[in-house]
Amino acid sequence: MSRQAKTVTLSEEERRRLAWIEERGSDWRERRRARTVLLLDQGRSIDAVVAQQRIHRETVACHRDAWLARSFQGLRDLPRSGAPRKLSETHKQVLCAWAKEEACTAPQLKIRLSDEQGVQGSVWRVQRALKEKKYVWKRTRHSLRKKRDEAKFREAQVAIAELVEKSKRGEIKLAYVDESGFAHAQPNRNAWTEKGEVHLITAERGKRLNVLAAWISTGALFSAMFWETTTAAAFAGFLGLLLKSVGGPLTVILDNASIHKAKAIQPVLALLKQQGLTLIFLPPYSPELNRIELLWHKMKHEWMTFKARTSEMLEADVGKILDGFGSDCRMTFC
Per-residue pLDDT at 191: 72
Does pLDDT of 307 surpass 90?
no
CB of 334 closer than 8 Å to CB of 163: no
Per-residue pLDDT at 80: 66
Report the pLDDT averaged over residues 107-111.
90
Share of the chain above pLDDT 70, in %: 95
Does pLDDT of 60 surpass 80?
yes
Report the pLDDT averaged over residues 115-122.
86
In terms of DSSP bridges, do strands 174-182 and 250-254 run parallel, antiparallel, or are they unpaired?
Answer: parallel
Confidence band, pLDDT 50/70/90 cuts, at residue 3: very low
Does pLDDT of 67 surpass 70?
yes
Confidence band, pLDDT 50/70/90 cuts, at residue 1: very low
Residue (of 41, 42, 59) closest to 50 by Cα position: 59
Q: What is the dihedral of CA 179, 222, 209, 181, to 10 degrees?
A: 20
Does pLDDT of 2 surpass 60?
no
- Average pLDDT of the chain is 89
Per-residue pLDDT at 332: 82
Which is more confidently placed, 298 or 143? 298
CB of 291 closer than 8 Å to CB of 219: no
Rounded Cα distance between 27 and 129, Å, is 16
Helix 266-274 with 232-246: angle, nearest 10 deg: 10
Confidence band, pLDDT 50/70/90 cuts, at residue 253: very high
CB of 294 closer than 8 Å to CB of 333: no
Lowest mean pLDDT among 117-126, 229-238, 254-263: 117-126
Lowest mean pLDDT among 132-146, 206-220, 254-268: 132-146
Report the pLDDT averaged over residues 58-69.
91
Rounded Cα distance between 283 and 157, Å, is 10
Per-residue pLDDT at 291: 94
Which is more confidently placed, 332 or 129? 129
Report the pLDDT averaged over residues 159-181.
95
Residues 72-102 pLDDT 10s:
998 988 776 665 667 888 899 999 999 888 8
Which is more confidently placed, 196 or 212? 212
The 3-class SS string of the chain reads CCHHHCCCCCCHHHHHHHHHHHHHCCCHHHHHHHHHHHHHHCCCCHHHHHHHHCCCHHHHHHHHHHHHHHHHHHHCCCCCCCCCCCCCHHHHHHHHHHHHHCCCCHHHHHHHHHHHHCCCCCHHHHHHHHHHCCCCCCCCCCCCHHHCCHHHHHHHHHHHHHHHHHHHCCCCCEEEEEEEEECCCCCCCCCCCCCCCCCCCCCCCCCCEEEEEEEECCCCEEEEEECCCCCHHHHHHHHHHHHHHHCCCEEEEECCCHHHHCHHHHHHHHHHHHCCEEEEECCCCCHHHCCHHHHHHHHHHHHCCCCCCCHHHHHHHHHHHHHCECCCECCCCC
Rounded Cα distance between 242 and 324, Å, is 18
Rounded Cα distance between 159 and 153, Å, is 10
Per-residue pLDDT at 82: 60
Strand order in the sheet with 209-216: 221-226, 209-216, 174-182, 250-254, 277-281
Per-residue pLDDT at 213: 97
Query: Highest mean pLDDT: which of 20-34, 42-56, 129-143, 256-270?
Result: 256-270
